[in-house]
A and B are shown apart, each in its own frame.
Chain A
Amino acid sequence: MKEDKDEPGSRRNFLRSAFAAGVTAATAVIQIDHIQAAPRNTLPADNAKPLAFFRPDEAEFVSAAVDRFIPPDEEWPGAVDAGVVDYIDQQMAGKWGSAGYMYWHGPFKEGTPTQGYQLPFTPAELFRRSIAAVNDHFSAQGTPFHRLSADEQDNYLKMLLTNGTTLNGVPSKVFADFLLQHTVEGFFSDPIYGGNTDMVGWRMLGFPGPYADYYELIDKHGIKLDREPVSIASSAQLHVM
């Protein structure tokens, strides 16, 4: 088992690169100001990867919201830099977004909380409808959500989470809980799904990743395990070796 401190990719080195990433993100926010008049199909400048599902105005809201759910700090990146928007985008564009993992036969009726999700909207439809309502609301007010102050954004998200409004037929709590759950998934799922970039979510917690053999370690109670995490992709390389 490696217990290095200073090799490339070690936590100490990661902290440096995370700090650098934070600076880059801040720069990118300024760039957005300059492209406001750009055509609608131009991607925001801070999206390095093309998006499969979200339109630019949707991506702006989602990026701002998930970065309030998991904000960047001095040591660890926030949701956007961890690839959470890319994760949600891929999920919505794929089988999950089109309710491909759900029993999807009617009649669709309103249920009780113990009966779980019963809206007639696929996850992708739910996102699209709800975000449209949010963005319409803020464009009517003249300032889009992503331009609000952090406190204003937090207050609005709290209102959604306490079911303070309805978004094109979606109780706002359903949408906001859904967005929060997807944010957590994107921050902590294996990087093969587009989030958890460079395993930052795992590094932050100290989760060593899905591949491990603890037979010799489990009864060394209280030891500090300090090694590089291993993801599905990196473990495939290990298996080749």
Chain B
Amino acid sequence: MTQRLKSVDVVVVGVGFMGAIMAKELAAAGLTVVGLERGKKRWTVPEFQAPDIHDELKYSIRKGMMQDVTREAMTFRNSPTQEALPIRQWAAFLPGTDLGGSGVHWNGQTFRFTEADFVWRTRMHERYGKDFVDPSLTIQDWGVTYDELEPYFDKFEYLLGTGGKAGNLNGKIQRGGNPFESWRSREYPNPPMKEQYGGVLFRKAVEEMGHHPFVQPSSNMTRPYTNPEGLQLNACNYCGFCERYACEHFAKATPQTVILPVLLRNPHFELRTEAQVLRVNLDRNKKRATGVTYADASGREFEQPADLVIITTYALNNVRMMLLSGIGKPYDPKIGEGVIGRNYAYQTTGDVYVFYDESVNINPFMAAGASGTLIDDFNDDNFDHSSHGFIGGSYIMSALTNGRPIEFHPTPPGTPDWGKEWKAAIRRHYNHTAHMLIHGSSMPTRTNYLDLDPTYKDAWGLPLLRITFELPDNDVKMTQFCVDRAV
């Protein structure tokens, strides 16, 4: 039996960065807001504290901060003709859970989209002609522009205390920043991070080649910072346990450090954790949300009526929640129609390792999640693609986010995977290897999409999300081009 609760103005589904920001703005405007978070409550103290939090096996290998895969998995396949099977342990996709969501285990790398990204289809057609773009790519314009969003990028960076150096202040190119970025209305709230040794070696090399290195914008604090909400953060100490981990030092911008304490003080807001939303309820015409139905930790069901329902559970689970609730027209890849689940894009990455001699101590463990020195010369539409046969691009960044040894023990090509020679090689190269990350765009295609799995169910008996994704040829070409530039 479902218990019907007292109606509120707003229900927010998922209390991570987006949910917390939406709830805070709406509650401040005087609306009554309930935040429903499927996971548990957790705070910098005591949950993120020493000695347990820097446990590589628990968090990096067993994925301790991720969505509980035993109860809610996703299924995966590469093409619509294949049978999808459940992702039984997380690998490529790492959805977070619990209060703060993925905003707790992220790395703090804080980039903006560019003006071109928002009008990508128009830009590609105008610059390279309609026939240039691979017809299997289903690129579109966003319908909003960079200029409209700039004040919100700015507000977000000040909320988070992002550190960096502007490259384009109101149209004027700035030395030391990224000259390819779109305009920003003012400087970053904090200075850039300290550069790693590998980054400095990279900077020297690319400057000689005429490229434009800059320090990665970071929401790991570069000095003590009080944000516009009055919350105080500490300077990052470069401990090397950032991505997949929570920060024990109040030094990474997370919902817990930059907004939740303020939100929870507002009497118009109520947080309910361990509240698993099963569906958004709709009116008779299926045009208007009337609230949500959720289950608590012991499985009791509640209906929470609301005038406004906001789904902030990241793109993957947002799509699933809409499909489970019968919202919108599901995307059908056979006819290319429908919106929900259409144009799923991921990320495209390549790696290059640089092996130095034993006199060069790289010290990979001295790192922040957003450590990095990079160039955008081959990213986005920052270079002429007409002779290359692909669209999009990558940043090329010298970055080591950690020296955690289960994950990081690089060996040169040709080294065996085990045995005496391998053991000698990992020892020889551990502290003398730099890494370049080639991290780039992922173009949408007609056959990369999300829908509900016909077979596999979650712990509440609801269909899992099904991901159908294959790297487009365009992106493979793009990454190969950028890896060649890096080498």
Contacts and interface: CB of A to CB of B under 8 A. Distances in A.
A202 B431 CA distance: 12
A103 B86 contact: yes
Interface in A183-235: 183-185, 188-190, 192-193, 201-202, 204-208, 210-215, 217-219, 221-225, 232-233, 235
Interface residues of B, number: 60
A109 B50 contact: no
B76 A114 contact: yes
A107 B456 CA distance: 8
B306 to A, nearest CB: 31
A39 interface: no
A184 B406 contact: yes
A214 B238 contact: yes
Contact of A101 (B51, B69, B196, B239): B69
Interface stretch (A2-10, A11-19, A70-78, A131-139): A70-78
Chain B binding surface, main DSSP class = loop
B86 A105 contact: yes
Interface in B47-83: 50-52, 54-57, 61-63, 69-70, 73, 76-78, 82-83
A97 to B, nearest CB: 12
A217 B197 CA distance: 11
Contacts, number: 161
Given A202-B405, A218-B366, A116 B54 contact: no
B42 to A, nearest CB: 19
What bracket does the count of chain A residues touching chain B fall in?
A: 35 or more
Nearest to A236: B51
B419 A69 contact: yes
A173 B238 CA distance: 38
B164 interface: no
A211 B54 contact: yes
A198 to B, nearest CB: 15
Most buried by B among A205, A224, A239: A205
Nearest to B239: A212
A131 B216 CA distance: 48
Interface stretch (B183-191, B261-269, B357-365): B357-365
A70 B418 contact: yes
B405 A103 contact: no
B51 A180 contact: no
23 contacts: A68-B419, A71-B420, A101-B70, A103-B69, A114-B78, A116-B91, A117-B89, A118-B88, A188-B406, A204-B427, A205-B431, A207-B404, A210-B56, A210-B241, A214-B237, A214-B238, A214-B367, A218-B196, A222-B363, A224-B361, A232-B51, A232-B54, A232-B55
